[in-house]
A and B are shown apart, each in its own frame.
Chain A
Amino acid sequence: MPKDGIGASVKRKEDYRFITGQGAYTDDIDRPGQAWAVFVRSPHAHARIASVDTGAAAAMPGVVKILTGADYAADGLGGLPCGWQVTGKDGPMVEPPHPPLAADRVRHVGDQVAVVIANSAAEARDAAEAVAVEYEPLAAAASIDAALSPGAPQVHDEAPGNLCYDWELGDKADVDGAFAGAHHVTRIELVNNRLVPNAMEPRAAVAEYDRATREYTLYTTSQNPHVIRLLMGAFVLQLPEHRLRVVAPDVGGGFGSKIFHYAEEAILTWAAGKVARPIKWTAERAESFVTDAHGRDHVTVAELALDADGRFLGLKVDTKANMGAYLSTFAPCVPTYLYATLLAGQYTTPKIWCGVQAVFTHTVPVDAYRGAGRPEATFVVERIVETAAHEMGIDPAELRRRNFVPSDAFPYQTPVALVYDSGDYEGTLAAALADADYDGFAARRAEAESRGKLRGIGLSAYIEACGIAPSAVVGSLGARAGLYECGEVRVHPTGSVTFFTGTHSHGQGHETTFAQIIAERLGVDIDAVEVVHGDTSKIPFGMGTYGSRSLAVGGSALARALDKVETKAKRIAAHLMEASEADIEFADGQFTVAGTDRSVGFGDVALTAYVPHNYPIEELEPGLDETAYYDPANFTFPAGCHVCEVEIDPDTGAVEIVNFAASDDFGNVINPMIVEGQVHGGIVQGVGQALLEGCVYGDDGQLATGSYMDYTMPRADDVPSFTVSTRTTPCPHNPLGAKGCGEAGAIAAPAAVMNAVHDALGSRGVSRIDMPATPARVWQALNA
């Protein structure tokens, strides 16, 4: 194995440009002649637009153009499309129009009404303030409860009662039967709090139109530029792909929020054609809070039936999910196919029913945020299992062991549609418990008690469905896209390699991980490999990065492309050595005739492919450049166990995380350093959800938590260092054996933290506390 190959913690190739300030993010791009855009946004959650007067603003210094919803409508262009159609009990979901610029009604604070384009950002901002929009404010429905109450203000005329769909999975009567024979039933109610993803780089876009080539170029903060090109080109602006280039350069974090096609991208591109100048827009953070798709926001009631030994007999889950004001790109699938299908968790629960009502509200659209549906499912399962353990007086680890899918039961068909590929749940549980010193907890609790502190420990044995996704399967469930991935391996004449991937790296380190695979497979130096992503003019096609899919799906496309390169290179090597192709072996960058000392290096073969003087030209094309598309056979199922220990000060309600241990099974690992970093980051997003973060909307639909002064982002002094480790059961159905690691921490951590908080507070009679467990909430619960 080369020193920089698979399994090595190679330092990241991309880091040099970031640590020297040479990263090139969208807002760093300035195009010649560029103008700036500022959006005029609704200050109301719900209002009729009586008039938009742009006269005074248009006369202000530097203003180039002002465009309104009426202008957009006049051009006859499309609305923002939704990429997934869920079919509920009563038929397909309600799919109301989503105009990129509102013309007659605004439906959330931040809804865009007009765009002002000026010679400078400051002039655009000044003029935007002078656009006079006359609103007739209407009553708003700002929460799930408000939207479902009788007589609630209607978000869309098309959706009576604000219901997008009423969907279910499983046979409720059958599950009720399982409950009839139960020894014990545990019932919980919970809120999965609404979050703002808050990638540190605010969204931004630069659009330009070239009159000579009639080509549009959009630089945008995206996790999937080809998807944006397709959605914006085909559905919104009606531009053909060959005249639309979308570039997602360095992107400063995504966490799901940069998957979706947003109005600003389309409006900028449309406007760039009109003014024939490049236009830049960069969100201010306050703007991000009211326009980036939010995450989570579920209200759930769940019941678990157990027999006398604590074996799970059945699970019923009834969830209401907030869609926000419009359907964001993948919103409908998040609380259904990415949620209910995960409710078996790591367990053999034989009967499961889940009902989901998706609800429109006068709030920012909600869509996939790190984990997307799977954190919500894990939170339900792991909170109810832990609660059941406490109620029945069984050790929470032991109750889990009694119900685990055994490691010899794979592939395992769950009652909620998925077939788990591989796993060792006992193994990750045991490793996490050992790292957390679970056995020593009682002594630590007693010691804390002596100091007047409340100590608790909590487990979260999570599972996720990643490697998204088999196209035919998701197509049958309503996806309007395939979810394969594409990769092109271009070997250059001198033997260096460029890899073009349809995935996108915005922190995940693909430029290193993919290069390691290539170094390993081709025996080339890792510095002779360049990974290119994020430009539709360079990469054949791609579905992008989300759902922990880049290695499992994008890496598999790379592996398949490398197979093709190796096959062709062997034919060239066989010709050069006058041997039979079947006798050629390839290892460590050398092609060898089996059983001889005759060999030729990869570089010589590459050169021969491009200088085909001595070459089987009749039967083989010159060149060494191969593309592969990989459509996964199944989802992958990363799983593991996270254990959190907290100490609570009853005088202040402050929760301190004193220990956090994670054992994860991600299948085969390419770069352990990068994988650990992904877990650290995910854990802190999960800790943020559990202890710090949460959107607060007023009844009037005003977002009270609209800045970093109000929305509590986790900071360095809120969290400890972590003990993380991996245990591997390879994925059996993809060429790398990889499962994916990007979302695990955010999926596992909330339940681990909240189980620990409940464990600590249980002795004081507190049975329910919702996320975020802020000091105020904890103190109030202790003093109720």
Chain B
Amino acid sequence: MPTVNMNVNGEAVSGEVEARTLLVQFLREQLRLTGTHVGCDTSQCGACVVHVNGVSAKSCTMLAVQCEGADVTTIEGLADGDTLHPMQEAFRDNHGLQCGFCTPGMIMSALDLANRNSAPSEQQVRDWLEGNICRCTGYHNIVKSIMAGARAMAAGQGG
């Protein structure tokens, strides 16, 4: 079986995988990083979104071996110890989650948007979330969370 090496949440990891092993399977089953979820089998729901080299990606749509040498960030890698990332805080402050299953993918996707656009409009957020499905919140508070999170990130960088 091939060996794959990558940096996950700042740590060098390696593992033997089958050629068919998906990135999400490698993260969940081998690294036991179970914050990244699988909600569908057609790359539609976005529960598995992580960052690969700083850009959001559906980890159910990449093979683990494609990430050789890559920097991968998962939901577990966002907080700095007990200090939450501003986007995580924003989801809590704005009740942007209910059952929590889509949440890691939502937050990782939102971060990518905020990195590109520090003050997204409501419509820009809604359009961006095309690839993330939530069944609980009706999106109302997710949209609010992401707009607030993006603002907080921009303020943090400015300060």
Instruction: Enumerate chain A interface residues (CB-CB to B < 8 A).
Output: 11-12, 14-25, 27-28, 30, 122, 198-202, 250-253, 255, 282, 284-286, 506-509, 673-674, 676-677, 680-685, 707-709, 713-717, 719, 721-722, 745
23 residue pairs A–B, Cβ–Cβ below 8 Å: A14-B100, A19-B91, A21-B104, A22-B35, A200-B39, A200-B133, A202-B38, A252-B100, A253-B99, A284-B41, A286-B41, A674-B95, A681-B137, A682-B138, A708-B45, A708-B133, A713-B135, A715-B139, A716-B127, A716-B129, A716-B130, A716-B139, A717-B123
Most buried by A among B39, B79, B101, B132: B101
Contact (Cβ within 8 A) B92 A200: no
Top 7 A-B pairs ranked by shortest CB distance? A21-B35, A252-B101, A18-B100, A507-B99, A684-B138, A507-B98, A21-B75
Contact (Cβ within 8 A) A677 B101: no
0/1 interface trace, chain B 55-93, chain A, CB 8 Å (1 if under)? 000000000000000000011101100001000100111
Contact (Cβ within 8 A) B100 A23: yes
| In-complex Cβ contact of B79 among A20, A509, A714 (8 A) | A20
Known: A21-B75, A719-B138. A12 touches B133 (CB 8 A): no
Instruction: Enumerate chain B interface residues (CB-CB to A < 8 A).
Output: 18, 20, 28, 32-42, 44-45, 47, 74-76, 78-79, 84, 88, 91-93, 95, 97-104, 107, 122-123, 125-127, 129-130, 132-144
Known: A11-B92, A12-B92, A21-B35. A713 touches B20 (CB 8 A): no
Task: Return chain A residues, CB-CB under 8 Å to B33.
Answer: 21
Q: How far is the CB of B60 from chain A (nearest CB, A)?
A: 10
> How far is A673 from B140 in the complex, measured between Cα atoms in Å?
12
Known: A681-B136, A709-B44. A18 touches B103 (CB 8 A): yes
Contact (Cβ within 8 A) A681 B130: no
| In-complex Cβ contact of A253 among B32, B35, B84, B136 (8 A) | B136
Closest chain B residue to A671 by CB distance?
B95
Q: How far is the CB of B42 from chain A (nearest CB, A)?
A: 5
Contact (Cβ within 8 A) A285 B130: no
Contact (Cβ within 8 A) B141 A680: yes
Contact (Cβ within 8 A) A200 B45: yes
Task: Return chain A residues, CB-CB under 8 Å to B101.
Answer: 23, 25, 199-201, 252-253
Q: How far is the CB of B87 from chain A (nearest CB, A)?
A: 9
| In-complex Cβ contact of A709 among B42, B92, B134, B141 (8 A) | B42
In the complex, besides A25-B101, A707-B42, 13 extra interface pairs with C-beta distance below 8 angstroms are: A19-B103, A20-B78, A20-B79, A28-B34, A200-B99, A285-B42, A674-B95, A677-B95, A681-B137, A709-B42, A716-B125, A716-B143, A721-B140
Q: How far is the CB of B98 from chain A (nearest CB, A)?
A: 3
Task: Return chain B residues, CB-CB under 8 Å to A27.
Answer: 34, 38
Q: How far is the CB of B32 from chain A (nearest CB, A)?
A: 8
Q: How far is the CB of B149 from chain A (nearest CB, A)?
A: 11
Q: Is the interface of A mostly helix, strand, loop or mixed?
A: loop
Q: How far is the CB of B79 from chain A (nearest CB, A)?
A: 6
Task: Return chain B residues, CB-CB under 8 Å to A200.
Answer: 37, 39, 45, 47, 99, 101-102, 133-136
Q: How far is the CB of B22 from chain A (nearest CB, A)?
A: 11
> How far is A714 from B91 in the complex, measured between Cα atoms in Å?
20
Task: Return chain B residues, CB-CB under 8 Å to A22.
Answer: 35, 76
Contact (Cβ within 8 A) B99 A506: yes
Contact (Cβ within 8 A) B129 A25: no
Task: Return chain B residues, CB-CB under 8 Å to A709.
Answer: 42, 44
Contact (Cβ within 8 A) B102 A21: no
Contact (Cβ within 8 A) B107 A19: yes
Task: Return chain A residues, CB-CB under 8 Å to B129.
Answer: 715-717
Closest chain A residue to B133 by CB distance?
A713
Task: Return chain B residues, CB-CB under 8 Å to A285.
Answer: 39-42, 45
> How far is A15 from B126 in the complex, measured between Cα atoms in Å?
23
Task: Return chain A residues, CB-CB under 8 Å to B41.
Answer: 284-286, 707
> How far is A286 from B37 in the complex, measured between Cα atoms in Å?
16
> How far is A748 from B103 in the complex, measured between Cα atoms in Å?
27
Q: How far is the CB of B35 from chain A (nearest CB, A)?
A: 2
Contact (Cβ within 8 A) B37 A683: no
Known: A20-B79, A21-B75, A122-B18. A199 touches B135 (CB 8 A): yes
> How far is A282 from B91 in the complex, measured between Cα atoms in Å?
28
> How far is A200 from B76 in the complex, measured between Cα atoms in Å?
20
Contact (Cβ within 8 A) A20 B98: no
Task: Return chain A residues, CB-CB under 8 Å to B93.
Answer: 11
Q: How far is the CB of A724 from chain B (nearest CB, A)?
A: 9
Task: Return chain B residues, CB-CB under 8 Å to A674.
Answer: 95
> How far is A201 from B44 in the complex, measured between Cα atoms in Å?
14
Closest chain B residue to A23 by CB distance?
B100
Most buried by A among B18, B36, B38, B97: B97
Known: A19-B84, A21-B75, A717-B127. A199 touches B99 (CB 8 A): yes
Most buried by A among B28, B37, B129, B143: B37
Task: Return chain A residues, CB-CB under 8 Å to B125.
Answer: 716
Contact (Cβ within 8 A) B42 A708: yes
Task: Return chain B residues, CB-CB under 8 Å to A255.
Answer: 135
Contact (Cβ within 8 A) A15 B92: yes
Q: How far is the CB of B6 from chain A (nearest CB, A)?
A: 18
Q: How far is the CB of A581 from chain B (nearest CB, A)?
A: 42
Q: How far is the CB of B19 from chain A (nearest CB, A)?
A: 11
Task: Return chain A residues, CB-CB under 8 Å to B103.
Answer: 18-19
Closest chain A residue to B100 by CB distance?
A18
Task: Return chain B residues, CB-CB under 8 Å to A15.
Answer: 91-92, 97, 100
> How far is A19 from B104 in the complex, measured between Cα atoms in Å?
6
